[in-house]
Amino acid sequence: MLDSLVSVAQLPADFDRWDEVLALIMRAFAAMDGVIDPPSSAHRLTVENLRDKARQETGFAALKD
């Protein structure tokens, strides 16, 4: 039995929660700090370059219902 479903949706053009996306990425890769060499490229991400990347590419989010 499934307790919840996951839906995948394309990010809308007016998406503006890049600070939350960046925080999620940083939490996801935090366990790798000091473990992998070279360090994760996640440390080079900023809200601004995530926003710029999304203008050039298609972003998707997986949402737990």
Q: Does residue 1 register a pLDDT over 70?
A: no
Q: What is the spatial distance between Cα 26 and Cα 3, in angstroms, rounded to a whole number?
A: 28
pTM for the whole structure? 0.78
Tell whether the torsion through CA atoms of 20, 54, 13 and 59 is positive or negative: negative
| 7-33 tens-digit pLDDT | 999 999 999 999 999 999 999 999 988
